[in-house]
Structure 1
Amino acid sequence: MRRIVLASLVVAAAALGWNLAAGRAAAQGAPAQGKAAAPAPLPIANPAEEVASVAYNGATEKVTKGEVFNIITRYPIPPTEDREQVYRDAVDTLVNTKLVTQFLNRQRIVIKPEQVQEEIGKLEQGLKAEGKDLATSLLENGFSLDEIKKEIEDRLRWIEYVKAKATDAELKKFLAEHKDLFSGTKVRASHILLKTEASASEADKAKVKQQLVAVKKLIDDGKMTFAQAANKYSQDPANEGGAGGDLDFFNLNSGFIPEFTDVAFKLKKGSISEPVETPYGYHLIQVTDRQEGKLPDFEQNKPYITSAYAAELQKNLLMEARKAAKIDVKPLPKDLFPNLPAQAPATAPAPAATPAQKAATPAQKAAPKAK
């Protein structure tokens, strides 16, 4: 199951091969000759239909079905995928994008047209290496040239904002506060998952949480080991073989979702967490081993440190914005997943995400999967 956790400031450009982490274009076709063609119509009804709205700081913006469709079709969707969760994750990404864009608007960061055109030129040069042109790539991906320019402008504004914040003193402080991330320290952990549905009420979530509290008491009272409890109660399909909930060693760049790793890396060896909520339910986490790493040289790793710092800036920005914003998400449109096989019964994933989460960029995405 995919999960998109941060904003995607350059969804359109990313679809054309934009290298956000490096802040430069990557190639997928040849330069356009003249004006780019209009985007191809989307194979869904009413792409302008509002599926969500976000009201923040006096402004209200809508998320359209077409925008969601453009995100979910960038990635293969297996028949077992929980499409309700895919839909909500895509909407979350678009909401985050709009919140970050509104934030950048208030910063009054000016990007000159020639700066945007320079980036378009880089994109065209990259596309040329693959034998396509920008007009064709825009048409195939359902984007207009104006959309690409706007999203490039937003990316450049984000880069300027980060540059102003990321002084050497600030980056060194960030490095010191995130030793586990940069040193490559690993923990070995086990978990017990009791899943909740995306649409679960707070009352339903509370019941699941209390069930997990009862499981923890059985372990604390010595009535069963953590591994025995995991084999008996955990709803993680990756544990079906009786692995005792073991997830093996992982570091903070392994792609596990942050709600999980934030707790795991703070636990002492042998200790068990209280119930931890993630998008998939509630977990008990036990750390069974830890391997300390070594901090890297600051100057040699400054670009990576800056990238991680930028991701943290955006995460904190979004946490505060979402607290104040009013977000209304409508039910999943029935025709949002055309031409896909019938969906098999959904299963609960492990708390892991693909390595896409490693990229600390203004368009960071994460996609959980079973380990």
Structure 2
Amino acid sequence: MRAIVRPVWFATTAMGVLAVTLTTHAQAPAAKEAPPAASAPAPAPAPASRLSPAKLTEVLATINGEKITRGELLDFLNRYEIPPENEEQIYSDAIETLVNMKLVSQFLTRQNIKVSEERVTEAVNQLEKQLKADGSSLAQALVESNKSMKEVRDEYSNRIRWIDYVKLRGTDAELKKYAESHKDLLSGTQIRASHILMKVEPTTSAAEKEQIKQKLISLKKDIEAKKITFAEAANKNSEDPANSENGGGDIGFFGLNSGIVEEFGQAAFALKPGQISDPVETPYGFHLILITDRQEKPKVDYEQNKPLILNAYAAELQKDLLIAQRKAAKVDVKPMPNDLFVKAPAPTTAPVPAGATKNAAPAPGTAKPAK
């Protein structure tokens, strides 16, 4: 996977997740480089029905004293299709999402935003109608997700409280200001870039980091002095595993909502075509970025796109909120339990008799079909 895109199976902020209650059809995107299921069967969370109450109440994380149990994690994971391999990353992303949900919930509780029981009941009734339309029922969903009605109502209460908080903060003046300062994001403008990556490991010292930066600065000077082209420098020096031998560091077109690492995207969009950045640090290391093209899109009309602008504003509001909350939060996350995932047996290649139809079972970890 190209070393500027972080593989995230879940929305690691709470945005959107707060709106998901007892849904079994949402699927996380499968890893682009995942091997085929025949060679690497997808892992599935160990079924809750096979676990003892002690296992289900096992504490996997605490956030300011509030617990996340194995049961909560399993309920969350079972909403998604789990891609093969990367169990540690999946666990990390899922726990991070649940931690963020708790932090947002705790913050909203402190804001003392009142939500009437009638509004919660209306939301739960809507859920029940949706489940019936899918051939299921609320009672069945409660059993399958190991949830109580109180937990469902609490989740909807949090969702409504968040919506009210966003509306309180997102005045017309604030949204117009946001739209003006985020034109590229909202319009879908794309740029094409090439980059040179020099990796940094968690164990890399400050002195070694400085040496890497200086090497990139020296490379930039040589490129600008036309001693070497950017493509030649990338082919010779870039440590991005996705950079082919003659790829020149090209990563194609992307937008600010393309899943690009934020530090990389923000630095790239600040450049004009033909410009080369100073060394940019991301979780992968240090990059030199060259912009080779820009596809400008028209500025969005505020009145026609207010819902889009409000959603983008809400996402950034929550990101900033979480950054602030984590600074003061006491978060303790346990290592992934060894028995959290179970591997499905490798598929057999037994021939199907002529005229017979193969009954395809759902892939492990995918949503169960409606009954």
TM-score, normalised via structure 1 length: 0.74
Deviations 1:234-259 (A, max 9, x none): 34343236422222122223333323
CA distance in 1, matches of 2:312, 2:330: 28
1:103 aligns with 2:104: no
Q: Distance in 1 between matches of 2:61 and 2:147?
A: 21
Query: Which entry has the higher C-alpha Rg, 1 or 2?
Result: 2
Q: 2:276 aligned with 1:272, yes or no? A: yes
- Quote how far apart the aligned CAs of 1:225 are: 3.1
Partner of 2:355: none
Alpha-carbon displacement from aligned partner over 1:60-110 (angstroms, at most 9, x marks no partner): 22333333333344333443x433222222221111111111110011111
- 1:359 is aligned to none
d(CA) in 2 for partners of 1:204 and 1:84? 25
Residue 219 of structure 2 aligns to which amino acid in structure 1? L
Provide closer, same or farther for how the CA distance between residues 320 and 277 of structure 1 changes in structure 2, counting only shifts above 3 A: same
| 2:187 equivalent in structure 1 | 183
Once the two structures are superposed, what CA deviation does each residue of 1:347-371 show, in whole Å capped at 9, x if it has no partner?
A: xxxxxxxxxxxxxxxxxxxxxxxxx
CA RMSD of aligned residues (A): 3.0
Indicate which of 67, 71, 76 corresponds to 2:76.
71
Written as runs of structure 1 = structure 2, the 5 A alignment for 1:78-89 is 78-79=83-84, 81-89=85-93
Residue equivalent to 2:12: 5
SS in 1 for 2:341: coil
Q: Which residue of structure 2 aligns with residue 293 of structure 1?
A: 297
Q: Given that residues 259 and 277 in structure 1 are in contact (C-alpha distance below 8 angstroms), is that contact kept between their aligned partners in structure 2?
A: yes
Q: Which residue of 1 aligns with 2:58?
A: 49
Residue 219 of structure 2 aligns with which residue?
Answer: 218
Q: Is the 8 A contact 1:5 1:92 kept in 2?
A: yes
Aligned equivalent of 2:67, options 62, 68, 73: 62
Corresponding letter in the other structure for 2:71: G
Q: Which runs of 5+ in 2 are unaligned?
A: 1-6, 27-46, 347-371
For 1:208 and 1:341, locate their aligned partners in 2 and report how far apart those are by CA, in whole Å. 44
Of stretches 246-255 and 105-114 in structure 1, the one that deviates more from structure 2 is 246-255
Percent identity, aligned pairs only?
52
Aligned length: 314
Contact persistence 1:12–1:143 (CA under 8 A): no
What is residue 309 of structure 1 aligned with on the other side? 313
Give the partner amino acid of 1:229.
A
Q: What's the counterpart of residue 327 of structure 2? A: 323
Deviates more, 1:96-105 or 1:240-249: 240-249
5+ residue gaps, structure 1, are 19-38, 343-371
Aligned to 1:46, what secondary structure does the other structure show?
helix
Aligned residue identity for 2:221: D
Residue of structure 2 equivalent to 1:229:
233
C-alpha displacement of 1:131 = 1.4
Q: 2:126 aligns with which of 100, 122, 126?
A: 122
How far the C-alpha of 1:188 sits from its partner, in A, is: 0.8
SS of the counterpart of 1:41? Answer: helix
Q: SS in structure 2 opposite 1:10?
A: helix
Give distance in 2, aligned partners of 1:241 and 1:139: 54
Matched, 1:259 2:260: no
Deviation at 1:148, TM superposition (A): 1.8
Q: Are residues 1:192 and 2:192 paired? A: no
C-alpha spacing 1:14/1:276, structure 2 compared with 1 (3 Å):
farther
Normalised TM-score (structure 2): 0.74
Provide, for residues 250-286 of structure 1, a one-character-per-residue CA deviation record: whole Å limited to 9, x for no partner: 2223333323212211123223334434444443322
Distance 1:276 1:195 in 2: 12
CA distance in 2, matches of 1:139, 1:241: 54
Q: Which amino acid aligns with 2:212?
A: Q
Q: Provide the C-alpha distance between the structure 2 equivalents of 1:83 and 1:299, rounded to a whole number of angstroms.
A: 44
For 2:181 and 2:66, the matched residues in 1 are separated by 36
Q: Distance in 1 between matches of 2:239 and 2:78?
A: 29
Matched-pair contact (CA < 8 Å) for 1:12–1:147: no
Query: 1-side partners of 2:278 and 2:60: how far apart?
Result: 36
Q: For residues 21-40 of structure 1, what are the alpha-carbon distances to aligned partners after superposition, in whole Å with 9 as ceiling and x for unaligned? A: xxxxxxxxxxxxxxxxxx95
Report the CA distance between 1:189 and its aligned residue. 1.2
Paired residue type of 2:124: I
Matched to 1:54, the amino acid is I
Which residue of the partner structure matches residue 164 of structure 1?
168
